[in-house]
Chains A and B, each alone.
Chain A
Amino acid sequence: MTAVEMERALAPAGARPARRRRRRAGLAGYLFVSGYTALLLAFGVFPTGYSIYLAFTNSLGQFTGLGQFTRVIGDFRFGPAFADIGSYLAMWLVLVVVMTVVTAVILRSRVRPGLSSVLRFLFYLPGALAGVASVLVWLFMLSPSVSPAAGLLRALGFSTFEQVIAPGNLPVILVLIAFWTGAGGWIVVMYGALNNIPDEVLEAARVDGAGPWRTAWRIQIPMIRKWIVYMGILAFAAGSQLFVEPQLLETASLERVSPTWSPNQLAYVFAFQYGDFNSAAAISVILLVVGLIVAALLVTRSGLFKVGDE
């Protein structure tokens, strides 16, 4: 999903100026993209097509129309799962957009270059842990009996792990985990985007009397707007597919966390507990459609794909 979007996002920008040359270097071009295209077809396009096929049929391959969709939407776990992921996404998107941009701007303009690169490295570090490992770290962090931050947890009124993972706290906990692992990478990306702004522009702003905050608000952030939108699309796509973190919390909490907390987990239960791959496919198609709608809205509203100044 995300790879496809990235491809689309980057393709038109480079395609146009190269059009004339491409006729001559056509073969080499095809050769270069062939490996990616083959993998994309095998692991991106074909599974998507197959899940769309599954979503509209039953286990005997008969056409069922929207039957699978009405069935999963009517399931008692569907509403709660989407409500969970909705509250998670709302917090996660706001936090990741605001915090990474603010941090990147501060690191770019207000921190000495040496310290800035050390900090960027530190922010990035947790992202080097795979999803599972980072959840395990958090299981320790959230258990008052073993956590290095036990004092803080107790001060917040949590004396047992069971109190910490109460259903109402889960979106916050999952946002913390996601931010801890994911934000560092985006800070680095945003920092890179800020580096693209020519020094003359910033110089001009300073000459015109803009202070650092004004420069950030009026010059830097508007100039990296497309990057922010791009981050929003990918963060939404990744966030709506949340699976590993709640799944591990469910196991670690001995099932106090619902096994169908997120829509992807619900799809997993349908597929691998009930053997109902068709309903599972219907849920993934719903997630795909939601992701596409959000991406389309962000793309059209921000003019992400506009090239030059038509």
Chain B
Amino acid sequence: MTMRSSGITEGRRRRRVTLAATAAAAVAAIALAGCASVTPAATSSSSSSAFKEATQVPGSAITVWTDSTRLPFVQAYAKEHPNVKLNIVTYDGDANGSTYLQTKVQLFDRTGKGWPDVVFASPTDVTWASVPTTPAAQAFAAPVDQLVPQSTLDNFAKGSLSPCQVGGHTYCLRNDIAQVVLWYNKTLMDKWGYQVPTTWEQYQALGEKVAKQHPGYVIGSIGDTNSDESYFWSSQCPAQELVGSNTLKVDLSSPDCTRMANLLDPLIADKSVATQGFFDQGFNGSKVLMSVGPSWQGQYLYNAAFKVPAGEMAAAPPLKWAGQSATYTGNVGGGIWMVSSHSQNIKAATALAEWVTTNTGILADAPTYPAYVPGAKAWLANPTNKDYFADNVSSAFLNAANEVWTGWSNTKFSDATPWSNTVLPALTSGKSLSAMLPAWQTAIADQAKSLGYTVVSQ
């Protein structure tokens, strides 16, 4: 305080005290007053059955939001259907944990206009789009099971529509699936006389051999934002399993999780499994012998990013655990299409979403593995999707597509967030996966609870 404050008169001081007391009383009154809940319950949360189309304007233009990868599909549709008026907008497709679409829809719900009619998005988006964002709003996604024939939905790969299904309705059409397979460099494997592993135990043994005989080479990476889906999902680890409509089982102490952590830790220690992500800056792609990764890795990682020459890479079926009869695998991404419940031309919007996901002619040239089975067959029959590889990837892909474990649920949060924030920096600093499981558990549980899930560990 400056010198002056000592000169304050008694009266002024008393007034100041009174003021402070009044303020304190006001705060207390605010705190104690009969206050409403901070999270008011939606009045009609059973919105799924209450789907009501907007007033239809036949022939009106529809707005499509797509990522740049899927843009050619939409352009092809526009070309084949010149009488449909389309506004095409490209955005990031909500990949890599982006929440652009969600952000925008929240705002459109507030202003009451502006929604796109059809969107390409990621499966996580279905969890918020299938319910109203505010009590007053209508859920963004229209139930496609009321718009598309059941026979069409039945033709999607087994389990591929499960991320779309909420409360008995289907809210999206799956664009592609990203079933995890075992990628390997056949040229190097042959040259060094290695057998392609079929079990996780053989995979570990191979890693230890590679670390000794060819140090610097890796048989996988744990450092990508989705590596948890390649490894822990394949291991049937209950990291985020919906066991009730709003109850999430998170149990990383389960043997199904610890077996994977224990398998990887020695490989991380001897550097045959990298802690730097394949997609991180400066990753040396010429030293990859093998990877456990999604079907799109062949074209997008090995061909486009790592520039591995044609005829070297091959895909083997997913690994299984010794002594286990069934094989399960993970899934890394894969997009979806949603139709807006606010669309004023829902017929045209649905037609477009249906065409881009089920037209075998266009799917044969799709950049990634189609979820629609006839489309997948056409895709596998297309030589350009196979020519790059050392052998036929069809059987590995087809088998893996039906082996994706369904216990890794589609949740309101992206599993990449707790994994990337909590586990990856610790691995980079030299901690072991096993040591990080409790922290990862807490991170997932915190994230889930903040979004209203009841978290259980049993």
Interface residues of A (CB under 8 A from B): 56-60, 62-68, 71, 75-77, 143-146, 160-163, 166-167, 254-259, 271-275, 278-279, 300-301, 303, 306, 310
Contacts and interface: CB of A to CB of B under 8 A. Distances in A.
Given A66-B31, A300-B2, 7 more contacts: A57-B36, A58-B38, A63-B36, A64-B37, A144-B282, A256-B421, A259-B421
Contacts of A56: 30
A58 B40 contact: yes
B458 interface: no
Contact of B38 (A68, A163, A255, A256): A68
A258 B133 CA distance: 24
B425 A59 contact: no
Most B Cβ at <10 Å: residue of A64, A66, A272, A275? A275
Contact of A254 (B1, B4, B31, B420): B420
Interface string B276-289: 11011110000000
Contacts of B38: 58, 64, 67-68, 71, 278-279
5 contacts: A59-B135, A76-B450, A77-B446, A254-B96, A259-B97
Given A64-B35, A76-B450, A59 B416 contact: no
A222 B40 CA distance: 55
Contact of A272 (B103, B416, B451): B103
Contacts of B223: 162
A254 B417 contact: no
A243 to B, nearest CB: 15
B415 to A, nearest CB: 11
B31 A256 contact: no
B103 A273 contact: yes
Given A255-B97, A303-B2, A60 B428 contact: no
B225 interface: yes
A67 B36 CA distance: 8
Interface in B21-49: 27, 30-33, 35-40
Contacts of B417: 255, 259
Nearest to B427: A162
B133 A275 contact: yes
Given A64-B36, A146-B281, A256 B97 contact: no
Contacts of B245: none
B224 interface: yes
A161 B35 contact: no
A272 B106 contact: yes
Contact of B428 (A146, A166, A306): A166
4 residue pairs, one from A and one from B, having the closest CB atoms: A145-B282, A62-B36, A255-B420, A65-B35
A91 to B, nearest CB: 20
Contacts of A60: 36, 40, 135
B6 to A, nearest CB: 14
B145 interface: no
Contacts of B421: 255-259
Contacts of A77: 446, 450
Interface in B67-114: 96-97, 99, 102-103, 106-107, 109
B225 A254 contact: yes
A80 B314 CA distance: 45
Given A58-B38, A58-B40, A143-B281, A272 B420 contact: no
B335 to A, nearest CB: 18
B139 interface: no
Contact of B282 (A58, A75, A161, A167): A161
Most B Cβ at <10 Å: residue of A60, A254, A306? A254
A274 B450 CA distance: 10
B312 to A, nearest CB: 24
Contacts of A256: 225, 420-421, 424-425
Contacts of A58: 36-40
B96 A161 contact: no
A63 B33 contact: yes
A64 B97 CA distance: 32
Contacts of A278: 38
Nearest to B31: A66
B214 to A, nearest CB: 20
Interface in B401-430: 416-417, 420-421, 424-425, 428-429
B134 interface: yes
Interface in B126-152: 133-135
Contacts of B35: 62-65, 67
Contacts of A273: 99, 102-103
A239 B32 CA distance: 34
Given A58-B39, A64-B36, A166-B429, A255 B225 contact: yes
A258 B424 CA distance: 11
A167 B416 contact: no
A254 B428 contact: no
Nearest to B225: A254
Nearest to A162: B428
B450 A65 contact: no
A72 B119 CA distance: 32
A59 B30 contact: no
B134 A275 contact: yes
